[in-house]
Amino acid sequence: MLQKLIAIIDEYNAQTPENVRITTTKDYPLSNLCTFKIGGPADLVAYPCDIDALIFLVKTAASLDLPYLILGNGSNILPSDMGYRGVVINTTRLTSVCSIGNKIIAECGASLISVTREALGAQLSGLEFAYGIPGTVGGAVYMNAGAYEGQMSDVVEVVHYFDTKIGEIVTVQCEDCNFGYRISLFSNDPTKIILSAEFVLNPGNYDEIKQKMDDLMQRRIDKQPLDYPSAGSIFKRCPGHFTARLIEEAGLKGLSVGGAQISPKHAGFIINTGGATSADVMSLIEIVKEKIYEEKGLNIECEVREI
């Protein structure tokens, strides 16, 4: 089926302007597509250059009964050491961002860095918390990403998605996105493929917005192990507790399994110190979960997605 998909893509490209053709790479390491720098090869990686191409890829893969994975910047995933058997549809070329009035409209593959900078340029406030989150709009909406007392559900007005069940583009209001702590309508239903989102913000002062962005970025630099590959915060917040503090109090800060290590700088991060495998990370995660349950009677949950 993979060869048939490639043949169909070739036919599509033959009838499509060069600037919006789909490019593909076979047997491509997932370690090159995620911030953890971990993972075996995907059978095929396809890069749509516009929304129509993304929808075409999803519909075609589904029609061939070929497994597919939608992937943005890969900042919150832990790929398998065995790779992915199917097609990875990478959205990072869908990067359109614009401001209209007090709104920012962005495609799913646009980086949060670019969205926050667009907001700054338009003197719109409300997205400062997202400055420095290394994800895309699609991934951020998918998991209701947040930091520093802000989250996507605070600023999303509408989301446009492709519904594979009915084969149509649907627009959904924020209140119907079922946002919760690191979950959404989309994380609970893989048949809904995020295409773009609209953020409603507040008029602000350029210098004040920039100051807040710079302050938050400095806090990240000071407290987080940004000099090592990671998937960001590895565990969800434990109700009533700071999970990183629980890990540190359990004496696990700095613990390593293979190339994976609980960051000596911030215990909420597992870092790739060099050559870490998915198995190394998972072993470390299990050690942490068991130790916290043994000492505190608490079940902590992972924030990262295994693929």
Q: Where are the beta strands (DSSP E) in 217-273?
A: 230-233, 256-257, 260-262, 269-272
Handedness of CA 133, 135, 140, 145 (dihedral sign): negative
- Phi-psi map region of 74: left, alpha, beta (phi>0 left; psi -120 to 50 alpha): left
- Would residue 182 show up in a list of annotated catalytic residues for this protein? yes
- The set of long-range contacts for 204-207, using a CB threshold of 8 Å and a minimum separation of 24, is 204/123, 204/124, 204/125, 205/123, 206/120, 206/123
Of 107, 118, 128, 303, the catalytic one is: 303
- Would residue 303 show up in a list of annotated catalytic residues for this protein? yes
Q: Where are the beta strands (DSSP E) in the chain?
A: 23-29, 41-47, 68-71, 77-78, 84-90, 97-100, 103-107, 124-125, 146-147, 150-151, 156-163, 168-173, 192-200, 202-203, 230-233, 256-257, 260-262, 269-272, 305-306
Q: With contact defined as beta carbons under 8 Å apart, do 58 and 79 qualify?
A: no
Tally of CB atoms within 10 A around 278: 21
d(CA 226, CA 222): 9
Residue identified by tokens 């749509």 is: 48
Q: With contact defined as beta carbons under 8 Å apart, do 250 and 295 qualify?
A: yes
Rounded CA Rg of the chain:
20
Residue 95, phi then psi, degrees to nearest 5: -120, 15
Of 31, 196, 233, 263, the catalytic one is: 233
d(CA 97, CA 104): 7
- Would residue 21 show up in a list of annotated catalytic residues for this protein? no
Of 31, 128, 182, 196, the catalytic one is: 182
- Which of 305, 250, 246 lies closest to 281 in space, CA to CA? 305
Catalytic positions: 182, 233, 303
